[in-house]
Structure 1
């Protein structure tokens, strides 16, 4: 699948995040102009060096209105929305970030004649009950398609890479803690070594996708018409398998301790009051559901024939 990005103006919202930085690096290999909209004024220098001289521009914007968005998106060819949060704060709710902002961006993009609109969502959110995060993600997809009929929706599984928030969280915990928690409805399984012993195995599964593959996929489908893509990596893991892989790469031993969801919910009740919570009650609700997709891997392989696995990438950044 080929596309021609030469000479195009691409506007990215949320480009200063984990996925955004990798996407910018992929886009900057083409002769296109990239405009990044961010709330963080101090990120301008760090973002500009991701591309060639004069290729990347950065605008700091703390609020979005029809007027200022029309000025920014006028004469743009592509709009990419990466804005998202994992937990709510006093200034940012799931509804505002995942529903109202995508609705406004897609509406303005359509009104001013933008040719392509890509919206990043998340895998499996439509199957989750009683989670405000999941509900807002689903609604964000709906309003985007309603406002911009040719929009492309990308729904990746857990995304990993050198500066991710998932693998690095447990890796960092292992640096100071002798135990690692197994979240996600642990179940008992008889040990293969000692018949009287039992091992805890997580029943929830993940299918992590490498951020470089995700970014490359996004670049390659820019010229496509409306489609929703589930995206997932080449290997399915349970939570305990993920943790054991992290420990194996780091060549250390830690005890894996099962955490029933009821206890995890209590932990979330306490931790969600921190400025940057490690866990919230809403996130605990997500732990009940698998994050895998066979079709997601098929979709990825159509563009990325040999997607990278955790086993290949983790040794390059875990210490």
Structure 2
């Protein structure tokens, strides 16, 4: 059996939430992994995921093509995970998710490396949010430079250290009520981060269709209200769920975009919630899903209790209600 011990994969944005799971999945398959991040000194948490010398972090900023070129030297494949939920200074949606994605793809094409790009189901050039529009622009730039690239569009991703379920659980710990923007009727298909990481590793293994766009969702389509109810049930807290019209939510977001922690909410995030975030029928029919890759996705209710227990009143020592 061929070994991956001499095969180098560069993971851009590998120190983040999804990145650490991707690095772990690749390490288990014996790949050598170069993690390209803006601040490699903060990526030490990745070292225990592999053997000594298997994982190495290097400095890279997608806004500077020369650093992308340096990070890609000798690589068999490039995985781009870089994305932002809110703009900050020079880290704009356009710079990171559109031009940055194109920069990685062009270098991958130049060195003859395979390309895996992680986008989002919300990617749409006509999206009401800048996040969605630049995700679509990034996909276009990637396929223009590397037509054989594999693109993954996950729905909202959950798991340990996520900024989704953990955010609302943290908010429920201090607030008597939780907001439901647009009445909480936006539909999502929460997908477990471990399943997304497995799909990405499968793409590096060559198990995906060249030039295809996969849509990754969990086993259930849930409204935002249903997701909130699952989170509250998991952490055993009772909170009011208050409907917040989109217009009022947008006004509040102009102030809350400067708030810290779980209170932060941007106008762009409000706009993104106007559109459902689910796997399309076309992707299902074409087999461009987790199930099409032979991966049985885990549900939110099955996984969330494994890490949200810390938000219960007495943490892991809470007595389960019967």
TM-score by length of 1: 0.89
> Which of 209, 213, 222 lines up with 2:195 in the alignment?
213
Q: How far apart, CA to CA, are the structure 2 residues paired with 1:23 and 1:66?
A: 23
Q: How far apart, CA to CA, are the structure 2 residues paired with 1:130 and 1:44?
A: 34
Matches within 5 A, 1:156-235: 156-183=154-181, 185-186=182-183, 202-222=184-204, 223=206, 224=208, 225-235=210-220
Matched residue of 1:180: which SS? strand
Equivalent residues of 1:128, 1:286 under 8 A apart = no
* Cα shift at 1:4: 6.6
Q: How far apart, CA to CA, are the structure 2 residues paired with 1:66 and 1:92?
A: 15
Residues 112-150 of structure 1: CA deviation (Å, up to 9, x unaligned): 111x10111000321753321111110000000001111
Summarize the Cα distance change of 1:8–1:248 in structure 2 as closer, same or farther, 3 Å threshold: same
Equivalent residues of 1:213, 1:304 under 8 A apart = no
Q: How far apart, CA to CA, are the structure 2 residues paired with 1:64 and 1:258?
A: 40
Q: How far apart, CA to CA, are the structure 2 residues paired with 1:97 and 1:4?
A: 34
* Residue of structure 2 equivalent to 1:267: 252
Q: Does the alignment pair 1:242 with 2:227?
A: yes
Matched residue of 2:25: which SS? helix
* Residue of structure 2 equivalent to 1:315: 305
* Cα shift at 1:240: 1.0
Matched residue of 1:52: which SS? coil
* Cα shift at 1:53: 1.1
Q: How far apart, CA to CA, are the structure 2 residues paired with 1:3 and 1:165?
A: 38
Equivalent residues of 1:217, 1:304 under 8 A apart = no
Q: Does the alignment pair 1:279 with 2:265?
A: yes
* Cα shift at 1:246: 0.8
Moved more, 269-278 or 235-244: 269-278
Q: How far apart, CA to CA, are the structure 1 residues paired with 2:48 and 2:35?
A: 13
Summarize the Cα distance change of 1:155–1:301 in structure 2 as closer, same or farther, 3 Å threshold: same
Residues 169-206 of structure 1: CA deviation (Å, up to 9, x unaligned): 110000011101111x22xxxxxxxxxxxxxxx32111
Matched residue of 2:290: which SS? helix
Q: How far apart, CA to CA, are the structure 2 residues paired with 1:122 and 1:3?
A: 33
Summarize the Cα distance change of 1:170–1:54 in structure 2 as closer, same or farther, 3 Å threshold: same
Equivalent residues of 2:128, 2:272 under 8 A apart = no
Summarize the Cα distance change of 1:75–1:124 in structure 2 as closer, same or farther, 3 Å threshold: same
Matched residue of 1:221: which SS? helix
RMSD: 2.0
Matches within 5 A, 1:29-68: 29-62=28-61, 64-68=63-67
Higher helix share: 2
Q: How far apart, CA to CA, are the structure 1 residues paired with 2:24 and 2:214?
A: 22
TM-score by length of 2: 0.88
Q: How far apart, CA to CA, are the structure 2 residues paired with 1:62 and 1:302?
A: 34
* Cα shift at 1:273: 2.9
Residues 5-59 of structure 1: CA deviation (Å, up to 9, x unaligned): 4421100110010000001111101222100011123323212222111101111
Q: Which runs of 5+ in 1 are unaligned?
A: 187-201
* Residue of structure 1 equivalent to 2:275: 289
* Residue of structure 1 equivalent to 2:133: 135
Summarize the Cα distance change of 1:66–1:241 in structure 2 as closer, same or farther, 3 Å threshold: closer
Q: Does the alignment pair 1:98 with 2:97?
A: yes
